[in-house]
Amino acid sequence: MRYLGYGERLLAAYPAVVDDVTERLSVGVVAARIGLVVGGLTCLVVTPSFASAYYLAYGRGGGESPPPGWLAGIGPSWFAGADAVSTYNSYGVVFGFALMIVVISLGVVVAAREGKGTWESRAWRLIIGGLGAVAVGSLMEYGIPEDVLDAGYGFMLELAGFVIIAVGTVVLGWAVHREAEVGTIPSIGIALVGPVGIVAGTAIVGHLPSGPASLLMLAAIIIGAIGLPDTPRP
């Protein structure tokens, strides 16, 4: 029988404490999964009007212009009566807060899993950190007046966050194939969620941060709905 540390002996002596902690963790994970669904859905619902408001406020080349393609028929109606720039910034704040809910919720879900110290857990930390950078950058860009802080700082933080996310998903795809023996094709699909989702979302929506975040928010909703499997400890 291996030597038990003080903490393990204490928990073994008080099984009720273990049960209570487990129950609290379970409740926290359920709440976090709900947060992933709510936050992800909010970001996706806001995205069309958020991007549309951008074109009405600034357009291409710095002047007002109609949104392209499928966004043309969508108007930013949530903040009717406000000027175009204020409407755009209001959507940005809503998007930033919803994304922050996703970041916190994903952190709780990942922290409750086994597999600490694996490459998979490191990949998740990269992804969560990147999403956090995008959320903070959005709140900086849209929630702080430009006479207080140049919006460019928030925008650069968003860009850095998306780069970190892309790296994180590639590492995650490699890690689940190596450590959890996930098949080659699913692992490649996981690895490409970041890079392909970011590029495709930007091309389709034509706006940052909402466009490149779209597939990521869909993934967050799926994780919230079905959860994440545990991985074996190293």
Q: Where are the domains of the chain?
A: 31-226
**Half-sphere exposure for 195 (CA within 13 Å, toward CB):** 12
- Residue 46 scores a pLDDT above 50: yes
Q: What is the mean pLDDT of the chain?
A: 82
pTM: 0.82
How confident is the model at residue 78, as a pLDDT?
Answer: 54
Cα(230)–Cα(117) distance, integer angstroms: 13
Report pLDDT digits (tens) over 29-45. 889 999 999 999 999 99
Helical pair 119-143 and 84-111, crossing angle rounded to 10 deg = 160
- Residue 23 scores a pLDDT above 60: no
Q: Which residue do the tokens 């928990």 mark?
A: 11
How confident is the model at residue 53, as a pLDDT?
Answer: 83
**Collapsing DSSP states into helix, strand and coil, what is residue 143?**
helix
How confident is the model at residue 232, as a pLDDT?
Answer: 41
Cα(54)–Cα(49) distance, integer angstroms: 9
Higher pLDDT, 167 or 11: 167
- 33-37, 54-58, 125-129: least confident range: 54-58
Q: Which two tokens stand for residue 74?
A: 């969508």
Contact between 25 and 112 (Cβ < 8 Å): yes
**Residue 217 CB coordination number (10 Å):** 27
**Residue 24 CB coordination number (10 Å):** 10
Contact between 175 and 119 (Cβ < 8 Å): yes
Spatial neighbors of 128 by CB under 8 A, at least 6 apart, are 103, 106, 107, 110
**Collapsing DSSP states into helix, strand and coil, what is residue 147?**
coil
- Residue 156 scores a pLDDT above 80: yes
How confident is the model at residue 229, as a pLDDT?
Answer: 74
Report pLDDT digits (tens) over 92-101. 999 999 999 9
Q: What distance lies between CA 88 and its chain's CA centroid?
A: 21
Q: Could you give the angle at the alpha carbon of 220 between the alpha carbons of 139 and 140, nearest 5°?
A: 5
